[in-house]
Amino acid sequence: MKIEIAYILISIFLFLCGLFGVIIRKNLITLLVSTELMLNGVNLGLVSMDKMVGGVEGQVFALFVLTVAAAEVAIGLGLVVAIFRLRGYEGSSEITQLRD
């Protein structure tokens, strides 16, 4: 077994752990951290498949994923601060404005 295949399996595990964290956590900040875990899993998969195929395009796409992660964390944390300032809570189970 080549070592890149093992890293691809690790990246799948990392992505699914991020999904699991998004499902089980309540705090908005830890939800954002779980989303970052998913993006890191995608990055790891891109780079290891890149090493396996022998090109360089996967690293370029991982660079774009890094950019999107930075933009996502800026917008997400701005939303967390705005929600807390307007409503006064930080759990995803309390945001029921459109649900109830």
Partner 1 sequence: MEWLIFGFLSLWLLVSVFGTLFLKNPVHVILAFLSVILAIAGIFLHLGAELLAGLQLIIYAVAIIVFYVLVITTIPWEKVKKFEGIYKREALLAVPFLLVSFLPIAYMVLNGKFAVSGRVITEGNIQSVGKTLFTNYLFPFEVASVILLTAMIGAILLGRKEE
Restricted to residues 52-71, the positions that interact with partner 1 (CB under 8 A) are: 52-57, 59-60, 62-64, 66-71
Nearer to partner 1, 59 or 95 (CB): 59
Kindly give, in sequence order, each residue whose CB lies less than 8 Å from that of residue 50, ignoring residues fewer than 6 positions away: 56, 57, 58, 59
CA distances to 7, 9, 15, 42, 59 from 12, in Å = 9, 5, 5, 8, 17
Q: Closest distance between partner 1 and the C-beta of residue 97, in Å? A: 17
Site for partner 1 in 7-26 (CB under 8 A): 7-10, 12-14, 16-17, 19-21, 23-26
74 lies in the site for partner 1, by CB under 8 A:
yes
Query: Residue 1's CB: how many other CB atoms inside 10 A?
Result: 6
Q: Closest distance between partner 1 and the C-beta of residue 54, in Å? A: 5
Which token pair is 24?
């089980």
